[in-house]
Structure 1
Amino acid sequence: MKTTSLKEWTYEEFMSLPEGGPVRYEILDGGLCMTPSPNTRHQEISWNLSGFFWSFLKTRPVGRSFSAPYDVVFSKDPPQVVEPDLVFVSKDRLSIITEQNIQGIPDLLVEILSEGTEIMDRRKKHSLYERFGVPEYWIVDPKLNMIQVFRLIDGHYAAALEFGIEDRLETPLLPGLSILLSEIFPA
């Protein structure tokens, strides 16, 4: 992930950037971050994970989920705008969903690592999500076929729970959702 830091960006400037194309934009701590579009494996994992959420939420309407590209605006001043790979917002918090984006704190954010985003996802976004109080944050590692789950406890993320390819991932945010990781990671 490349960050341009020649100037601090405002939310309005961020919103004036072109939509779509091969570059994704985020604004973290005033710096504009640009990421190339993800590779095939990343997209397959995203599709598979999104499918589990879609199927679950179709039968149990306890909230809504969204896949990238979709902005999550934590703050407009200073601007903090991220574009996670997957977002879940519970039924109790649906008011943060607007026509354009999410404006507030989702219940769950998922980032799928790639070479260009790993450091940002593991450090800067981890810290940002913790600071803003995102209840649960998943880091999906395509190289290791593993998902790390961070849950907020007393304002801080506890040590990661690690789930490997033979494990089944469940979360208290979505009782009844059970994801067999071998169905997430393509062979």
Structure 2
Amino acid sequence: MTTKEIDAPTREPTLPLRMSYEAYLDWCDEDTHAEWVDGEVIVHMPPFDVHQLVLNYLNHLLDLYVIQLDLGKVFIAPFEMRLQTENSARQPDIFVVIGENQKHLSRERMDGPADLVVEIISRDSVRRDRHDKFQEYRRAGVREYWVIDPRPGRNRADFYRLDATGEYELYATEDDERVESATIPGFWLRPAWLWPTSRMPLLDAFYEIRGLTAEQTAEIRKMLGTSGEADSAA
């Protein structure tokens, strides 16, 4: 699987701010959700609830897995991924840094490409996520890129990984029952978990990823005194 129809690009609003990277660092603070690309500052619109629900669920699932297995670190926007080769400072919705790549992390940013980047599409980010960032992350060497579109009527997910030639290969979509990460050892998910109508409670999803049976999961829940409802909306 290497090809799939791409949404028609949409023109998105941008704030016409131009400044150096150093001026950008002075201008923004840790709560500012903006990106710097070759001298231009792009300020993001506040996301809708569906965007945040998918972001929270996937972030918690990845974070739980990565921490429990001591593989690395998971970050959400606004936290900078500085791509020197692209002359840009991006703030991906989610990115994961594992193993030796953690040496490029500081308190302020990731200096270089993360191992996995996830972007969740909003109505103003279609072209940015599917075209601009797609090309930028590929050239910079982000090894795995997920593009999730939870907008009403969409429920689309595209999972890319770098191939031997440095191009992004579409290796799975929302139509796949199970998607195995190309970069996080042993991690997999069911794309159906991303959508509100079929979202599995967070801990149940984690237990399934770890290979526990439904009976074992029920026993753990009984021991913990939880029903599964509390974490289903994480």
Asked if TM exceeds 0.5, the reply is yes
Tell me what 1:175 maps to.
185
The question of whether the paired residues in 2 share the 8 Å contact of 1:2 and 1:33 is answered with no
One-letter identity of the residue aligned with 2:80 = D
The question of whether the paired residues in 2 share the 8 Å contact of 1:113 and 1:141 is answered with yes
Q: After the TM superposition, which residues 1-187 of structure 1 pair with which residues of structure 2 at under 5 Å, given as runs?
A: 1-5=12-16, 7=18, 9-19=19-29, 24-75=33-84, 79-143=87-151, 144-153=154-163, 154-158=165-169, 160-164=170-174, 167-187=177-197
Pair 1:61–1:129, CA change in 2 (3 A): same
The question of whether the paired residues in 2 share the 8 Å contact of 1:72 and 1:82 is answered with yes
The question of whether the paired residues in 2 share the 8 Å contact of 1:10 and 1:79 is answered with no
Q: Secondary structure at the match of 1:89?
A: strand
The Cα offsets for residues 143-163 of structure 1, whole Å up to 9 and x where unpaired, read as 3222211111212212x2342
Pair 1:36–1:20, CA change in 2 (3 A): farther
One-letter identity of the residue aligned with 2:34 = Y
Q: Distance in 1 between matches of 2:28 and 2:64?
A: 32
Displacement of 1:180 in angstroms is: 2.0
TM-score between both structures, scaled by the size of structure 1: 0.88
Q: Distance in 1 between matches of 2:183 and 2:113?
A: 14
Displacement of 1:38 in angstroms is: 1.1
Aligned residues: 183
Q: Secondary structure at the match of 2:83?
A: strand
How many percent of aligned residue pairs carry the same amino acid? 26
The Cα offsets for residues 66-117 of structure 1, whole Å up to 9 and x where unpaired, read as 1111111112x87401010000111111011101111111111110001111
Stretch deviating more after TM superposition (130-139 or 168-177): 168-177
Contiguous gaps of at least 5 residues in structure 1: none
Q: Secondary structure at the match of 1:174?
A: coil
Q: Distance in 2 between matches of 1:109 and 1:166?
A: 20
The question of whether the paired residues in 1 share the 8 Å contact of 2:77 and 2:93 is answered with yes
Stretch deviating more after TM superposition (121-130 or 174-183): 174-183
The question of whether the paired residues in 2 share the 8 Å contact of 1:86 and 1:110 is answered with yes
Q: Distance in 2 between matches of 1:28 and 1:185?
A: 31
TM-score between both structures, scaled by the size of structure 2: 0.72
Contiguous gaps of at least 5 residues in structure 2: 1-11, 198-234
Q: Distance in 2 between matches of 1:74 and 1:166?
A: 31
